Amino acid sequence: MAGVNLGIDVHRRGDWIVIAPIGDLDMGSAPRLRQEVVTAVAAGDTHLVVDLGSVDFIDSVGLGVIVGARRRARSNGGEVMLAGLSEQARALFELVDLDRVFAVDLDLDAATAGPT
Amino acid sequence: MTEANVGRDVILEIPARADYLELVRAVVAAAAYVDPDFGDDRIEDLRLAVSEATTNAIRAHASLGSDNRIRVRCNVDDDRIEVEVHDRGPGFDAHGIPDLPDVDDPARLLWESGLGLPLMKELTDESEWASDDAGTVVRLVVYTRSFLRD
């Protein structure tokens, strides 16, 4: 059954590591994203883009992992940007005011250009 | 897992495992789509709220054996869809859950969980919890567009 076995693509793009989950980002799958963030930061890659362009659904657990990724990256001198949010994801970030913390309307090119 | 129709009820009994979340979301959304008057945006809201409730139920079952199922009952009538998520966990005190700090407060960004209940309240027209040491029932209701207009 989908969900737990989240597909995830990780690749470098310029100075940024792009982590791109595929599928639903919920309790079953979000730990995999957290694991990729921890691995990247431990390797010294602290500038991360979480590309949500292939995420069909995200809930508060997925949101929590992204908040945690930002805290982890920033405490190591880095940053987390988001790209490719669906309507559902954007609405969720707005609902909990996290659109004031993350830019939620960027594509991958804009996200890998870093904060404006 | 059993699925049965009782009147206009759709009932799912699922193992307390995260890989059943997607199934619960799909069934609730499909039940709501039977009535086009709910609107895609409200069905999306309900799908997320039910996912949050079921996630909490799965967590509540962490200390129980796998024989204890989570029951999701979905009832659609002319005016509204009602979903109940019933777990057999140890219960919790909803009033004891602290409010989230404002997003401008740096402490807020230390919170990586705790958004489930606020989201359920925000995303539905009615939400309530009944919890004791035998379990928790979460009831979520979304009304049709025409009901809310009238």
Looking at residue A116, what is its pLDDT?
A: 78
Tell me: ipTM over 0.90.
no
Looking at residue B24, what is its pLDDT?
A: 97
Taking an 8 Å cut-off on Cβ atoms, the answer to whether B103 and A100 are in contact is: yes
pLDDT in tens, chain A (116 residues): 444 556 899 999 999 999 999 999 999 999 999 999 999 999 999 999 999 999 999 999 999 999 999 999 999 999 999 999 999 999 999 999 999 999 999 999 999 998 87
* Nearest of A38, A49, A40, A52 to residue A90 by alpha carbon: A52
Taking an 8 Å cut-off on Cβ atoms, the answer to whether A101 and B103 are in contact is: yes
Which residues of A, range 40-99, sit inside 8 Å of B by Cβ? 57, 59-61, 63-65, 67-68, 70-71, 88, 91-92, 95-98
**d(C-alpha B44, C-alpha B26), whole Å:** 11
Residue positions counted in chain A: 116
Closest chain A residue by Cα to residue B40: A88
Shortest Cα distance, chain B CAs vs residue A11, angstroms: 25
Identify all chain B residues contacting A98, using CB atoms and an 8 Å cutoff.
Answer: 103
Q: Is the dihedral of CA B23, A98, A43, A45 positive or negative?
A: positive
Find the angle CA(B66)-CA(B67)-CA(B73) to the nearest 5 degrees.
100
Shortest Cα distance, chain A CAs vs residue B8, angstroms: 27
Closest chain A residue by Cα to residue B44: A88
Looking at residue A3, what is its pLDDT?
A: 42
DSSP-derived letter for residue B10 is E
